[in-house]
Amino acid sequence: MKILELYSGIGGMHTAFKKVVCAIDINPTANKVYAHNFPTTNSINGNIEGLTVNKIKKMNIDTVFMSPPCQPFTQLGLQLDIHDPRTKSFIYFLGILPELDIKRLLLENVRGFELSEVHNMFITTLKKCGFHYKEFMLSPNQLGEPNRRRRYYCVAKKEPFDEATVANLPQNDEIIQDPYTLEKILEDVTTDEYNVPIKMLLNKSKLFDIVYKDSNRSCCFTKSYGRYIEGSGSIFTPKTMAEVDDVYERLNENTQDEIDPETRIKIETELLKSLQFRFFTSREICRLMCFPEEFGFPASVTNRQRYTLLGNSINCKVVAELMKLL
């Protein structure tokens, strides 16, 4: 396959399949990370609407991978769908797709995309171009990874699918391989850099999704990880579940005791600090998302930027399994 990677981000799809002719994304930080990991690939910093039919034909590509902006469809967004300006570039590409000699296509997006007007436009265009297509809703925990990241995927090609290969993928919520425990992906963190801040401990500790070394699950990590707690990803503790339960029970008792507020806060702070809650490192999240160990970030990319980029990226193992269908 000779691949054009649209909305390339940090290169999750490239990681899953090495031969990419050209990649394009409008995010300069993502492009910096992409170039750092794939220096021989032609990586374009720009808008997809700048890719004309002639430019694409000159690339001599036959396959397109893409992960269009998800904000118009996400449950946490305004769900403006086709009316969101961020759908313009994707709609533009659908408009020129019939003029291109594309034989294979893979698309990823958030859950909810499948209910959108843009999705309807996408499927209509695939049919118009003579594609056979398969749609999936998959999460890496179904394939043996201890992370939940449920996403919509569509694979399309001009020739019929091998139904036996399709049947190898999970159906509905089926788990075809039990996930391993988080201990496998953990780093030896010796600094306080990833500790949950005291203010967040005191105000949000009841909202933490707490995981342990022996946990075989974690929540989806979003671009807000490290800044917000609700729905942004899991919090790790080296303590046991029994130790955590004991501290939370003591915290509950502390709220019922008649002590002055200053003393109560001091007690709560010490109790919560004893659990050593911390955020996952960017390397640990890379491992959960199945990026290879050699994948890295330039030193100039901050930790917050890394969380944002990973939150917008894909799980490489899921994509690799889908690529087998192509």
Active site residues: 70
User: In the chain, at which residue ranges do the beta strands (DSSP E only) sit?
Assistant: 3-6, 20-25, 42-45, 63-66, 104-110, 132-138, 151-157, 210-211, 235-236, 278-279
Cβ 104 vs Cβ 63: under 8 Å: yes
CA 283 to chain centre: 14
Closest to 284 (Cα-Cα) out of 227, 213, 231: 213
Q: Which two tokens stand for residue 78?
A: 């305004």
For the chain, the residue count is: 326
Nearest residue to 45 (alpha-carbon basis) of 20, 75, 23, 21? 23
The 8-class DSSP code of residue 202 comes to: H
Provide the H-helix boundaries in 61-171. Answer: 88-96, 117-128, 163-166
CA–CA distance, 29 with 192 (Å, rounded to integer): 26
User: 10 Å Cβ neighbour count for 104?
Assistant: 21
